[in-house]
Amino acid sequence: MATTTLTPAASAYRSGLYEWLTTTDHKKIGILYIVNSFLFFFLAGLMALGIRTELAQPGLQLFQGNELLYNQLFTMHGSVMIFLFIIPMLAGFGNYVVPLQIGAPDMAFPRINALSFWMLPLGGILLLLGFVTGGAAQAGWTSYSPLAQDRPLSSTGPGQDLWIMGLVLIGTASILGSVNFLATIFKMRAPGMTMFRMPILTWTVLVTSVLVLMATPVFTSALIMLFIDRNYGGHFFDPSTGGNAILWQNVFWFYSHPAVYVMVLPAMGMISEILPVFSRKPLFGYKAFVFATAGIGALGFSVWAHHMFTTGSVYLPFFSLMTFFIAVPTGVKMFNWIFTLFRGQLTFSTPLLFALGFLSMFLIGGINGAFSAAVPVDFALHDTYWVVSHLHYVLFGGSVFGVMAGLYYWFPKMTGRMLGEGLGKVQFVLMFIGFNLTFFPMHQLGLSGMPRRIADYASDAGWNDLNLAATIGGFTIAASTIPLLWNVFISLRAGKIAGDDPWEANTLEWATTSPPPPYNFDRLPEIRSERPLFDLRHGRSANH
Amino acid sequence: MSSTPGSRPSTTAIVGWLVAAAVLLGVAVLVALNASSVWNSFFPPQAKSVEGQEIRNLYDIVFAIAVVIFVLVEGLIIWTVVRYRRKPGDDELPPQTHGNNIAEITWVLLPTLIVLYLFVISWQTLNSVEAVDANPNLKVRAVAGQFQWSFEYLPADAKADTTAAFTITNPGGPEGGLFLPAGETTHIYLHSPDVIHAFYVPQFLFKRDVVPTGDFRERENQFDVEIPATDAGQTYRGQCAELCGVGHRIMTFEVHILAPADFTAWYDQQVAAKNATPAPAPSGTAAGPSVPLTAEGVKFDQSTLTGPATGFTIHFDNKDNGIPHDVDILDGTGKKVVDDKDFPGPGAKDYVIPPLPAGTYKYECSIHPGQMFGTLTVQ
């Protein structure tokens, strides 16, 4: 290879960076995904702080004279958090953990794996370029047409086109990634690793990949149609030229509702790895859990129009019924988790704390979602702050708490060092309190009629105190990331050495060194149940 | 920094109690401050329409079931976590329970029954809320354009695209907004000439999107609202609930409920005003020099204006087809000292500015304050 002509010193220096830029190792790519996602998480978090600062009190402060920027910020906050943080973050954990969990040396298509990762920062840069080319996309992350069309008072300028192209790239990355996961899970399992012995995280990544593969091409097509609308007079979604405004919402939500499960199923999978380990019991109802995951995936394709109850263009009873039904498999999971803890021996390490945070917050996100399934109640709540509360209880109280649990749980495997428990608990307490202080008052704001996506509100509307509380909570969440960053920083240098299996865990990734060698396993333990390491430690008997 | 599993239960217990104490303390303080208003904040405002009252009844049932489920499940989580923490001496493995089919069937069937019940009662409420009266007492078309509401009162045999008997162009104030008769049913058509908006009145517990349908006017959304007879004299606020652009937040309107007799008098007066010969345009009122200002592409052509303290006239030329603009003047504290009436372009108007104390002011279009503003110097 050409690099052999370099001087030894230069090649030694370059090889570190060069290795990370060209790697096809699923573990390194997984770490790249995670680091990249955290960068976008902090960026979109700063945008949220801008929004919360403006809303702290009535009157315009931060965005006086520049309300368009406010609209750009909430648009990009949503877009970046969803497409560049939660989805890739979970894909990153999947990338790192799934091949290890099924005893494979790598993903099925390592180069495609690298390609799908590198499309993400590129897509993210495209998305953000709008800020320096005359204004980023400003029509909300949902980009409803005709507001997303290129015309005065709507979405003129290149920001919206950059948003479209960025999401096309990110969507393509998702599709490639899902094909890779499916091929890996179906074809690369170690001998003995039957489907019903796969860890739950692997199952949730499998179902998620099916969702991505079926839904994302629809969204990508819709994005291209919107691009044609804006630039070449396509008239797909523009009623003033014979198009249909509601058609966009149908295709958008046909992807974006299943995307909610893409954002939460792998987090559920992580919780389902962590709860058994820290209660020293197997997951209660493994098969029921698998069927519930598949059930959520299947039902997830029949509920998209519950985002459109007030459009007057969808058959309400059908989508109401299906939305209520999806509560059933979700409830099955909730009870299985609780009964995993039941009669266990719980050790409150940071991963378990975040996992318990997931349980109790996701419960609220499920229950307040049922209000909107009752269509007439949704007529009152839709597009108010109630919905903002609901979606954050699912995506923050659920997914982000799951990601944090996963980070504390797998960090020792990825780096060979433990994260500090003290700082971890400080982070958990701050984040838990800040989260509830931010998003719980939004229930009441929504009930009393505060709409989403406004930069200001009347001072006599009765929304002042609740908004101030939410803003204080927002800054508390921001503060909670400081112990996290400090913890990662010092633990990478001087954290406690983890060893192969610091948690007495059950699944195969803990059977190899921390961090694992490039090809993952020198040898594999016998796989005769969904807990091969437990069997190795305690022997496999009828009692277990 | 890190603890090995089970070795330091005291730290974790302290953390757990701290979290619980902080949450409980916060809740206790809030509740003690004002128990009844805290309780009321978990409910929508008191419903001011017959349909809204039915939605409120449904909300109350859903809320009750939600609270019971939340308390039971969250209580179960907390109890389990507290009860089954690992204690010193817990070296033997706990029973390795892999599952229980009877339990699984129970928590499939019970939630299924609950959600089926919720579905049936919400469907019933839906049918009743969506029902449309064949002979409504009144028909109104709410028109939502970027970024202002107007209300067109229609003849009794009107369809979605029938011309209005008269139009209320101001969305609020004593003479503007949506006027509805108490004790009667009004059929409301929703029309948008540009993007999607949403008609939302919190006191109706109801919103419906105002979807632009181009030439297919018959596809526009419509619904009935019936006001209880006892609510005459009340006024409340409505607001656009679907993001419609930079002026989304200013798309508010007022709903005024009139007693039937007052409503009839108001209606006749509006029709008479519409039929009267339009008053001649005010002439000769222009005081002082005339300062030109043009709006085009939702922008003012000038970012600074200068006028004498003795008063002057702004000759305002609005070139934006179908988009309303105005020129309001705000003093240094942000208080509006001149509130001119907006009008859609294309068209021009002379705004007479009364004498103002010398100083620096801000002028803006009250409909697009984010994009259209500038500095006025009064000498």
Which of B74, B108, B212 is facing A146, going by the closest CB pair? B212
| Chain A, nearest residue to B118 by Cα | A374
Which of B147, B241, B371 is facing A451, going by the closest CB pair? B241
The alpha carbon of residue A189 is apart from the nearest alpha carbon of chain B, in Å, by: 23
Residue with tokens 């993007």: B195
**Each residue's pLDDT tens digit, A332-361:** 999 999 999 999 999 999 999 999 999 999
Query: What number is the average pLDDT over the span A494-509?
Result: 95
pLDDT of A171 higher than 90: yes
Q: How far apart are CA B55 and CA B45, in angstroms?
A: 11
Given this model, what pLDDT does residue A8 score? 47
| Subunit contact A324:B115, Cβ cutoff 8 A | yes
Distance of CA A225 to the CA centre of its chain: 26
More confident of the two residues A235 and A376: A376
Give the CATH number for residue B369. Answer: 2.60.40.420
Query: What number is the average pLDDT over the span B246-261?
Result: 95
In a domain? residue B30: no
The alpha carbon of residue B156 is apart from the nearest alpha carbon of chain A, in Å, by: 23
| Chain B, nearest residue to A277 by Cα | B5
| Subunit contact A451:B6, Cβ cutoff 8 A | no
B330 touches B364 (CB < 8 A): yes
Span between the terminal Cα atoms of chain A, in Å: 53
Give the CATH number for residue B126. Answer: 1.10.287
Length of chain A: 544
| Chain A, nearest residue to B365 by Cα | A65
DSSP state of A395: I
Q: Work out whether strand B312-318 and strand B166-168 pair parallel, antiparallel, or are unpaired.
A: unpaired
In a domain? residue B361: yes
Given this model, what pLDDT does residue B284 score? 44
B206 contact partners, CB below 8 Å, separation of at least 6: A379, A380, B49, B51, B52, B55, B129, B200, B223, B225
Which of A282, A317, A341 is facing B123, going by the closest CB pair? A317
CATH class of residue range A23-538: mainly alpha
The alpha carbon of residue A110 is apart from the nearest alpha carbon of chain B, in Å, by: 35
Q: How far apart are CA A212 and CA A300, in angstroms?
A: 12
Q: How far apart are CA B289 and CA B275, in angstroms?
A: 35
| Chain A, nearest residue to B370 by Cα | A65
DSSP string covering A472-513: HHHHHHHHHHHHHHHHHHHHHHHPPB--S-TT---SGGGGS-
A325 touches A295 (CB < 8 A): no
pLDDT of B367 higher than 80: no
| Subunit contact B196:A146, Cβ cutoff 8 A | yes
Mutate which: B39, B115, B127, vs A, most A CBs within 10 A: B115
Q: How far is CA A121 from CA A24, A33, A35, in A?
A: 17, 9, 11
| Subunit contact A420:B2, Cβ cutoff 8 A | yes
| Subunit contact B94:A279, Cβ cutoff 8 A | yes
Mutate which: A279, A364, A429, A447, vs B, most B CBs within 10 A: A447
Q: How far is CA B149 from CA A45, B152, B378, in A?
A: 35, 10, 33
Q: How far apart are CA B191 and CA B167, in angstroms?
A: 13
Last residue of a domain, one of B219, B241, B275: B275
Same domain, B143 and B60: no
Return the CA Rg of chain B. 30
Segments making up each domain of chain A, as ranges? 23-538
| Chain A, nearest residue to B90 by Cα | A345
**SS3 label, residue B303:** coil
CB atoms within 10 A of CB B135: 7
A530 touches A195 (CB < 8 A): no
Given this model, what pLDDT does residue A10 score? 47
| Subunit contact A432:B19, Cβ cutoff 8 A | yes
Distance of CA B165 to the CA centre of its chain: 27
The alpha carbon of residue A186 is apart from the nearest alpha carbon of chain B, in Å, by: 25
A5 contact partners, CB below 8 Å, separation of at least 6: none
| Subunit contact A452:B103, Cβ cutoff 8 A | no
The alpha carbon of residue A87 is apart from the nearest alpha carbon of chain B, in Å, by: 25
Given this model, what pLDDT does residue A486 score? 97
Q: How far apart are CA B163 and CA B139, in angstroms?
A: 12
B294 contact partners, CB below 8 Å, separation of at least 6: B300, B301, B302, B316, B317, B318, B319
Given this model, what pLDDT does residue B322 score? 61
Q: How confident is the model at residue A110 (pLDDT cuts 50, 70, 90)?
A: very high
Give chain B's mean pLDDT.
Answer: 88
What strands, in cross-sheet order, belong to the sheet with B347-353? B290-295, B312-318, B347-353
Q: How far apart are CA B119 and CA B110, in angstroms?
A: 14
Q: How far apart are CA A200 and CA A530, in angstroms?
A: 9
Q: How far is CA B299 from CA B251, B295, B349, in A?
A: 19, 5, 17
| Subunit contact B55:A379, Cβ cutoff 8 A | yes
In a domain? residue B16: no
pLDDT of A470 higher than 50: yes
Domain that holds residue B343: 290-378
Same domain, B260 and B310: no
Given this model, what pLDDT does residue B122 score? 96
Task: For residue A451, list chain B residues with Cβ-Cβ distance below 8 A.
Answer: 200, 239-241
| Subunit contact B84:A370, Cβ cutoff 8 A | no
Which of B44, B85, B108 is facing A447, going by the closest CB pair? B44
Helix (H) or strand (E) holding A10: helix A8-22
pLDDT of B36 higher than 90: no
Q: Work out whether strand B328-330 and strand B359-364 pair parallel, antiparallel, or are unpaired.
A: antiparallel
Give chain A's mean pLDDT.
Answer: 94
Query: What number is the average pLDDT over the span A375-404?
Result: 97
DSSP state of B88: T
Q: How confident is the model at residue B33 (pLDDT cuts 50, 70, 90)?
A: confident
Task: For residue A311, list chain B residues with Cβ-Cβ distance below 8 A.
Answer: 209, 211, 221
In a domain? residue B31: no
| Subunit contact A321:B119, Cβ cutoff 8 A | yes
Q: How far apart are CA B255 and CA A71, in angstroms?
A: 28
Same domain, B78 and B168: no
The alpha carbon of residue A352 is apart from the nearest alpha carbon of chain B, in Å, by: 10
In a domain? residue B28: no
A105 touches A187 (CB < 8 A): no
Same domain, B113 and B142: no
DSSP state of B290: E
In a domain? residue B78: yes
**Each residue's pLDDT tens digit, A240-298:** 888 999 999 999 999 999 999 999 999 999 999 999 999 999 999 999 999 999 999 99
Nearest to A41 by CA among A354, A478, A376, A428: A478
Phi-psi region of A171 (alpha: psi -120 to 50; beta: other; left: phi over 0): alpha
Q: How far is CA A3 from CA A6, A45, A189, B121, in A?
A: 6, 40, 35, 71
Lowest mean pLDDT among A119-133, B40-54, B281-295: B281-295
In a domain? residue B94: no
| Subunit contact B99:A288, Cβ cutoff 8 A | yes
Q: How far apart are CA A34 and CA A85, in angstroms?
A: 9
Q: How confident is the model at residue B278 (pLDDT cuts 50, 70, 90)?
A: low
Return the CA Rg of chain A. 23
Cβ-Cβ pairs closer than 8 A, A with B, add up to 321
Helix segments in A233-285, DSSP class H: 245-279
Task: For residue B81, list chain A residues with Cβ-Cβ distance below 8 A.
Answer: 341, 346, 356
Last residue of a domain, one of B275, B299, B320: B275
Asked if residue B346 has a cis previous peptide bond (ω within 30° of 0), the answer is: yes
| Subunit contact A286:B98, Cβ cutoff 8 A | yes
Q: How confident is the model at residue A17 (pLDDT cuts 50, 70, 90)?
A: confident
Question: Within 13 Å, how many C-alpha atoms sit on residue A181's CB side?
Answer: 32
Which of A147, A343, A349 is facing B195, going by the closest CB pair? A147
Q: How confident is the model at residue A152 (pLDDT cuts 50, 70, 90)?
A: confident
| Chain B, nearest residue to A352 by Cα | B81
Q: How far apart are CA B153 and CA A17, in angstroms?
A: 70
Q: Which two tokens stand for residue A45?
A: 């978090």
Given this model, what pLDDT does residue A198 score? 97
Given this model, what pLDDT does residue A542 score? 46
Given this model, what pLDDT does residue A14 score? 55
In a domain? residue B364: yes
More confident of the two residues B30 and B92: B92
Which of A242, A245, A376 is facing B126, going by the closest CB pair? A376
Percent share of chain A, pLDDT over 70: 97
Q: Work out whether strand B312-318 and strand B290-295 pair parallel, antiparallel, or are unpaired.
A: parallel
| Subunit contact B243:A343, Cβ cutoff 8 A | no
Last residue of a domain, one of B247, B275, B303: B275
pLDDT of B154 higher than 60: yes
Q: Which two tokens stand for residue A149?
A: 């069309």
Given this model, what pLDDT does residue B60 score? 97
Query: What number is the average pLDDT over the span A21-42?
Result: 96
Mutate which: A286, A306, A316, A324, vs B, most B CBs within 10 A: A324
Same domain, B340 and B303: yes
Task: For residue A278, list chain B residues with Cβ-Cβ distance below 8 A.
Answer: 5
Nearest to A128 by CA among A91, A167, A93, A184: A167
Percent share of chain B, pLDDT over 90: 54
pLDDT of B286 higher than 60: no
Same domain, B127 and B150: no
**Each residue's pLDDT tens digit, B88-139:** 888 889 999 999 999 999 999 999 999 999 999 999 999 999 999 988 999 9
| Subunit contact B104:A285, Cβ cutoff 8 A | yes
| Subunit contact A67:B73, Cβ cutoff 8 A | no
Given this model, what pLDDT does residue B337 score? 82
Given this model, what pLDDT does residue A159 score? 95
A12 touches A85 (CB < 8 A): no
Q: How far is CA A217 from CA A196, A244, A480, B75, in A?
A: 29, 20, 37, 42
Query: What number is the average pLDDT over the span A3-16?
Result: 52
Query: What number is the average pLDDT over the span B166-184?
Result: 92
Task: For residue B252, list chain A residues with Cβ-Cβ distance below 8 A.
Answer: 458
Q: Could you give the number of structural domains in chain B?
A: 3
Q: How confident is the model at residue B1 (pLDDT cuts 50, 70, 90)?
A: very low
More confident of the two residues A481 and B319: A481
Which of B126, B215, B242 is facing A383, going by the closest CB pair? B242
B342 touches B324 (CB < 8 A): yes
